[in-house]
Amino acid sequence: MTGRSGRGRWERVPEARRQARDALGREPIGGDVYSAPPKRRTSPSTPPKPVLVASDRSTREYVLTLGSAATRLAVSRVELEAMIEKGKVEALQGAFIRVIPTREVERLQRSRSLET
């Protein structure tokens, strides 16, 4: 992309930084953060562990949030919500969020492994 001067926008950026350094009369603290190549993104961490919930005193169950369950199932959250609406996946309604029992996630993982 060129402006009226015919110079590309990315050619003007280093020049603007140089002018700013000259105007301040010093180098930026820690050097120019944009001169180094960008850092590599780290791989996603392991999914969070399931949370133990007790719906009543006799029943205890581990659950995952929709985002965590979607990560484990390798689907998007929107796809998982659609599966819940169609009745393919059981979800429990919490106070403010819906959660999925780990037994449902394991069932879906088993059914997918049988399909392939």
For the chain, which residues make up each domain, given as ranges? Answer: 1-39, 51-115
38-49: pLDDT as tens digits: 667 776 666 667
pLDDT at 4 over 80: no
Asked if residues 78 and 70 have their Cβ atoms less than 8 Å apart, the reply is: no
CA distance 71 to 85: 18
Rounded mean pLDDT of the chain? Answer: 78
The enclosing H or E element of 86 equals: helix 77-86
CA distances from 105 to 3, 21, 34, 69 (A): 54, 55, 43, 7
32-86: pLDDT as tens digits: 666 666 667 776 666 667 777 765 656 677 889 899 999 999 899 999 999 999 9
Reported confidence tier of residue 12, pLDDT bands at 50, 70, 90: confident
Q: CB within 8 A of 71, min separation 6: which ones?
A: 44, 47
pTM of the predicted model, to two decimals?
0.52
